[in-house]
Amino acid sequence: MTTPLVLYSANTWLAYMISERYFGGEHYVWCTPYFDSRQPANRSVCVAPTSNPAEIYQGLDQEAKRGDRHSAKIKENRIGILRGASLKKDQGIITEKQKDDIVAILDRAESCDLRV
């Protein structure tokens, strides 16, 4: 029996909840078989800090907990959610009203809603 492949990613709670509610539980994430390429066992693997699930998690976790209103990571996540909503609307998966609902959710969301 082969060892199953485990893939790691990091995403925000708000992105998860929107995907569950509006996109039928379909989630798009970037994954790697290494949670933290900084660990000695993974040093031969080249995963950029911006793609390293451990570093993404740690950065989002700290910035969300501190309520950082100027966080680039949180801003990028909001943009990604909006981009996803636009794509889903263009594909006919959600309606214009549902896209507007997602925009309203993002407008009201606090930094803590983008926790990991």
pLDDT tens digits for 44-88? 677 788 888 999 999 999 999 998 888 888 999 999 999 999 999
pTM of the model: 0.83
Q: Tell me what pLDDT residue 92 has.
A: 96
Domain boundaries, the chain: 13-114
% residues pLDDT > 70 (the chain): 96
The sign of the dihedral angle between the CA atoms of 71, 73, 79, 85 is negative
Q: Tell me what pLDDT residue 13 has.
A: 94
